[in-house]
């Protein structure tokens, strides 16, 4: 066993630098080696209680604060990085590799940050590095979506910094521990976390940008940003009651959008908000069971949501199409991808023996225990709904449904390996949850597998599926249509620009009038200056020394007078 | 672009689809029946209703889809809605 003082993010940043120069198989080896070496370093070299800080001016920047909470997220990010790297192994573009490594490193930096300034630095790095994964798609839409993404993410960072500074003034400490909602600093930091966490009305950066990224880029994106936010909430705001309500809203409203959304990666983006909702609920409840549920669900979500994004990425990569209305019947040519997608779908739907089941049930149980009856019903509704849109809709419209006539080939081998790895983890964690439970930060005495719970969950899911079958047979199911649906983003993508245009048009006559008046004034002024300072003006004349002395005397007199008073 | 020399795939035959669905209906029936046989420990009043989870799941999903369908009338726009300036 080796002990080392190396912060986990350094390995990724150094690798990113080297990847700039490397090419071909050397770069491929580096892409794979980085998360493996980093993971081993974390597992063997950084035990609980490790603390590493560097002084900066009058502050101490805590680069590594390892406790069971940060370590769990650290392990998870290494697994996610490895899977995403394998999935992206065929990508020849240097930008994407480097951005992916820097992005994963920033996420590690953020979860191990022990103070708010270090957190802020990595918070912003997350935004700046990840946007290249969106821009790498190189479409007009991706460019614009990336810009919007960057503005919103950087704003979140600015709010975090402002909150941190106020916090420092109040508490004379920058330590990133429990923050709570008290005071302006708490609120600012809460909103900063909320933006990255995709709280309702602050969520559209996610559904806007993720589906526009490259097929491999979205896999990276889905793993890190939002999970860093969930970690930060669990660290800074556990037991904050309002989070339970925010989380419940997050589980419910996106599923309606997911049902009518046509872009299948956007469906997954909405479903991601739904899953984060469960985590936010868990953090809000704040009991040991609920918090364990929240972070273990984050762990599982990284893997099964990654798997779903990978399967849709493979479809997009092979067919160039991701709209449900244009897909269907792909099981004929991509059977392996279809099966792996179904594993991911079963996991997100929390089927017994799949990973979602063992973590989501903790949040649900905690909810009942703490007496949130009606919110529990909302979460139950969302559980049925997630099966409906992510569990059935995604595989059904991509791989089955009506035959689109698209005949393609199976996903590339590296993609299949990455997806298989994720699928194995989904089933392993789902059927052997004790290993994940052993890593959880708080003491748990919880076991998900009993007859009651399994039966209840199976009934819920099978009858949700029955509803799908019936609606389809009765012709009531809304068909996939090429369309976009208006969401909160309409405010800044439509209303604000339109408002500005209208204002501009309205102000145009006034502006023109003002301009004319201004130029008249300027002309008058130049005339005036010419008259007095011009070659024949008063001010251009040479003045006698006497008048100079007179003015100095006047000035002195005034000064004496002022002093005297 | 319908392919011509296609081999038959498993779900191309309606009888396979029907077989799958029949199996699915049977599982649903068994799960519902189990509710009356196995004694569940209840942690909540609502759960005392037999078949609570089954009914809830079915109703929830039907409602979800029907409401979402209505939402389309208000929210749905053309695919290039945000791409073109009005």
Render pLDDT for B52-62 as a digit per residue (tens, 0 to 9): 899 999 999 99
User: Which pLDDT belongs to residue B2?
Assistant: 46
Please choose, from the candidates A324, A339, A341, A332, the residue with its C-alpha nearest in 3D space to the C-alpha of residue A408.
A332
Inter-chain touch A471–B27, beta carbons under 8 Å: no
Q: Enumerate residues 6+ apart whose C-beta is below 8 A from A497.
A: B85
pLDDT at position A1: 41
* Tokens encoding A413: 């081998």
pLDDT band at B1 (very low <50, low <70, confident <90, very high): very low
What's the pLDDT score for residue B5?
52
3-state secondary structure of A467: helix
Q: Is the pLDDT of residue B34 over 50?
A: yes
pLDDT score, position A565? 66
What is the pLDDT, as a whole number, of residue B38? 78
* Distance in Å, alpha carbon of A22 to nearest chain B alpha carbon: 38
CA distance A6 to A41: 9
Instruction: Collect the ranges in chain A with pLDDT lower than 50.
Output: 1
- Chain B residues close to A471, C-beta within 8 Å: 61-62, 65
Chain A residues inside the 8 Å CB shell of B46: 377
Cα–Cα distance measured from residue A519 to residue A365, given in angstroms and rounded to the nearest whole number: 73
Query: How many angstroms separate the CA of residue B15 from the nearest CA in chain A?
Result: 15
A13 and A100 Cβ atoms separated by less than 8 Å: no
- The residue among A69, A72, A135, A64 whose CA lies nearest residue A103 is A135
CB A533 within 8 A of CB A540: yes
pLDDT of residue B85: 63
Q: Kindly give the interhelix angle for A94-112 and A68-87, rounded to the nearest 10 degrees.
A: 170
Residue among B41, B56, B68 minimizing CB distance to A478: B68
- Answer yes or no: do B76 and A468 touch at CB < 8 A: no
Q: How far is B14 from chain A (nearest CA, A)?
A: 13
Q: For residue B15, what are its two tokens?
A: 């009888």
* Cα B64 to Cα B61: distance, rounded to the nearest angstrom: 5
Q: What is the CA radius of gyration of chain B?
A: 22
Residue B47: per-residue pLDDT: 72
- Model pLDDT, residue A488: 87
CB pairs under 8 A between A and B: 152
Q: What are the chain B neighbours of A255 within 8 Å (beta carbons)? A: 64
Whether the Cβ atoms of residue A429 and residue A301 lie closer than 8 Å to each other: no
Of B1, B65, B81, the CB nearest to A405: B1
Q: What is the ipTM of this complex?
A: 0.89
């Amino acid at each position: 066993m080796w002990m080392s003082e190396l912060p986990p993010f350094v390995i990724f940043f150094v690798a990113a630098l080297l990847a700039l120069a490397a090419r071909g198989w050397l770069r491929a080896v580096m892409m794979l080696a980085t998360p493996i070496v980093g993971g081993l370093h974390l597992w063997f070299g950084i035990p609980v209680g490790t603390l590493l800080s560097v002084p900066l001016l009058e502050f101490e920047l805590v680069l590594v604060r390892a406790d069971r909470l940060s370590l769990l997220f650290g392990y998870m990010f290494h697994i996610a990085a490895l899977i995403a790297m394998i999935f992206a192994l065929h990508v020849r573009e240097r930008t994407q590799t480097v951005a992916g490594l820097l992005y994963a490193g920033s996420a590690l930096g953020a979860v191990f940050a022990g103070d708010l300034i270090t957190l802020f630095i990595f918070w912003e790095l997350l935004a700046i590095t990840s946007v290249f994964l969106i821009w790498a798609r190189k479409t007009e839409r991706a460019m614009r979506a990336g810009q919007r993404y960057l503005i919103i993410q950087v704003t979140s960072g600015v709010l975090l910094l402002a909150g941190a500074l106020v916090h420092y003034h109040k508490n004379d400490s920058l330590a990133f521990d429990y923050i709570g909602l008290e005071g302006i600093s708490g609120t600012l930091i809460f909103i900063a976390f909320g933006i990255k966490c995709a709280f309702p009305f602050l969520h559209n950066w996610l559904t806007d940008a993720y589906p526009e990224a490259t097929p491999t880029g979205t896999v990276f994106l889905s793993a890190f940003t939002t999970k860093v936010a969930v970690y930060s909430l669990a660290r800074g705001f556990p037991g904050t009651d309002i989070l339970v309500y925010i989380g419940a809203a997050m589980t419910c409203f996106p599923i309606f959008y997911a049902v009518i959304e046509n872009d299948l990666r956007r469906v997954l983006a909405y479903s991601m908000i739904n899953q984060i909702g469960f985590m936010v609920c868990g953090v809000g409840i704040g009991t040991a069971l609920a918090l364990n549920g929240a972070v273990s669900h984050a762990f599982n979500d990284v893997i099964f949501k990654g798997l779903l994004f990978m399967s849709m990425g493979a479809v997009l990569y092979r067919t160039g199409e991701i709209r449900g209305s244009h897909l269907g019947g792909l099981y004929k040519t991509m059977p392996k991808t279809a099966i792996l997608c179904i594993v991911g779908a079963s996991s997100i739907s929390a089927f017994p023996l799949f990973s979602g089941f063992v973590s989501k049930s903790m949040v649900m149980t905690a909810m009942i225990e703490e007496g949130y009856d009606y919110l529990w019903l909302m979460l139950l509704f969302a559980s049925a709904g997630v099966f409906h849109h992510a569990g059935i809709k995604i595989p059904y419209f991509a791989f089955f449904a009506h035959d689109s006539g698209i005949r393609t080939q199976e996903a590339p081998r590296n993609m299949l390996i990455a997806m298989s790895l994720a699928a194995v983890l989904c089933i392993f964690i789902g059927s052997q949850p004790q290993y994940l439970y052993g890593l959880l930060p708080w003491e748990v005495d919880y076991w998900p597998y009993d007859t009651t719970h399994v039966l209840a969950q199976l009934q819920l899911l099978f009858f949700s599926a029955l509803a799908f079958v019936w609606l389809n047979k009765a012709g009531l199911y809304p068909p996939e249509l090429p369309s976009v649906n208006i969401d909160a983003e309409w405010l800044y993508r439509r209303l604000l620009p339109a408002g500005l245009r209208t204002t501009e048009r309205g102000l145009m006559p006034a502006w023109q009038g003002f301009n004319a008046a201004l130029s008249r004034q300027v002309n008058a002024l130049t005339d005036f200056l010419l008259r007095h300072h011009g070659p024949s003006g008063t001010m251009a004349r040479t003045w006698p020394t006497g008048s100079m002395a007179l003015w100095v005397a006047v000035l002195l007199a005034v000064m004496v007078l002022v002093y005297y008073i | 672009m319908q392919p011509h020399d296609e081999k038959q795939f498993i779900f191309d035959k309606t009888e396979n689809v029907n077989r799958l669905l029949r199996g699915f209906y049977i599982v649903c029936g068994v799960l519902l029946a189990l509710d009356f046989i196995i004694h569940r420990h209840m942690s909540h009043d609502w759960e005392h209703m037999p078949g609570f989870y089954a009914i809830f799941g079915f109703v929830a999903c039907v409602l979800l889809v029907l409401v979402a369908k209505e939402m389309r009338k208000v929210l749905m726009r053309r695919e290039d809605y945000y791409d073109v300036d009005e």
